[in-house]
């Protein structure tokens, strides 16, 4: 193959690899996966806080239930005094009755608190159910996006591999000195080692060359050097 043509095609394959690698890096599925994972982390943190709040509610409810149970025992004991006939003194009877009333009021107040806590617990359970549903949905979305990323990514990687195989074939067809020069320029010139002389302009650096230098290039070999950017310059191609 003519060296000028080989270099031109080699450059096209290398540019295709650059474009495909950028496409792989900027795949919308990749950004969507990162966004979804961030949301999942937020939901998991919310779930932990909600569970902690529910545990705190349970602790309050247990304390209230224990207090009510203790007061229930006291009320039963005071009630036994009234019906047992062991207390005959009117003042003592009145004191026992007053104590029972106080205990009942305290139990009523605690039961009201307990009902409020139970309602909060019910609301907490409902909130936790919503969070769990959001978590399931988020993980399903992540799995779907990951599969799409793998499918799309596999296609792009396959195309990259094909381009790289083609470049190996083309590179091996060139003289070793030209190979080394091309690779060196590709590394130092952001992946673009070859330019084409388009009229009087190098299409790699987009600089219009002086007429005298263009004349020298055109009177020389098919492959020269751009006097502006130093890249390999294809003066004439097949």
pLDDT tens-digit series, residues 47-74: 999 999 999 999 999 999 999 999 999 9
Per DSSP, the three-state class of 89 is coil
The DSSP secondary-structure symbol of 173 reads T
Q: What percent of the chain has pLDDT over 90?
A: 79
Q: What is the pLDDT of residue 115?
A: 96
Percent of the chain with pLDDT over 70: 98
CATH topology of domain 3-174: Helix Hairpins (1.10.287)
Average pLDDT over residues 11-23: 93
Mean pLDDT over residues 197-204, rounded? 93
Q: Does the pLDDT at position 236 exceed 90?
A: no
Both tokens of 6, joined, read: 């080989």
What are the structure tokens assigned to 187, written together? 């590394």
Provide the total of helices (H) and of strands (E) in the chain, helices listed first. Answer: 5, 5
- CA-based max dimension of the chain: 135
Predicted local confidence at residue 163, as pLDDT:
96
Cα(223)–Cα(211) distance, rounded to whole angstroms?
18
- pLDDT interval class at 203 (50, 70, 90): very high
Are 27 and 152 a contacting pair, CB within 8 Å? yes
Partners of 207 in the β-ladder: 202
Question: Taking residues 117-122, what's their average pLDDT?
Answer: 95
Residue 82 CA: distances (Å) to CA of 91, 108, 119: 12, 21, 36
pLDDT of residue 238: 62
pLDDT in tens, 137-174: 999 999 999 999 998 899 999 999 999 999 999 999 99
80 or 135: which carries more pLDDT confidence? Answer: 135
Q: What are phi and psi of 35, to 5 degrees?
A: -65, -45
Tokens of 8: 């031109």
Q: What is the mean pLDDT of residues 169-194?
A: 93
Give the per-residue pLDDT at 85. Answer: 72
H or E element, residue 198: strand 194-198
Domain ranges of the chain: 3-174, 178-234
75 has pLDDT over 70:
yes
């Amino acid at each position: 193959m003519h060296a000028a043509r080989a270099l031109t095609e080699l450059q096209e394959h290398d540019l295709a690899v650059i474009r495909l690698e950028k496409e792989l890096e900027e795949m919308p599925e990749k950004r969507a996966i990162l966004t979804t994972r961030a949301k999942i982390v937020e939901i998991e943190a919310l779930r932990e806080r909600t569970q902690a709040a529910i545990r705190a509610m349970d602790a309050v409810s247990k304390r209230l239930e224990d207090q009510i149970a203790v007061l229930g025992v006291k009320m039963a004991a005071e009630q036994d005094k009234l019906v047992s006939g062991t207390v005959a003194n009117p003042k003592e009877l009145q004191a026992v009755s007053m104590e029972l009333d106080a205990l009942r009021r305290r139990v009523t107040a605690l039961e009201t608190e307990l009902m409020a806590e139970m309602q909060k617990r019910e609301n907490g359970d409902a909130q936790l159910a919503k969070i769990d549903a959001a978590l399931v949905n988020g993980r399903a979305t992540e799995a779907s996006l990951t599969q799409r990323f793998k499918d799309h990514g596999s296609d792009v990687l396959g195309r990259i591999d094909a381009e790289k195989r083609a470049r190996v074939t083309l590179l091996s067809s060139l003289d070793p000195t030209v190979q080394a020069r091309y690779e060196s320029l590709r590394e130092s010139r952001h992946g673009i080692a070859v330019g084409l002389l388009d009229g009087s302009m190098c299409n790699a650096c987009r600089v219009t060359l002086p007429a005298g230098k263009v004349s020298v290039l055109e009177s020389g070999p098919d492959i020269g050097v751009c006097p502006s950017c130093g890249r390999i310059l294809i003066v004439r191609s097949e």
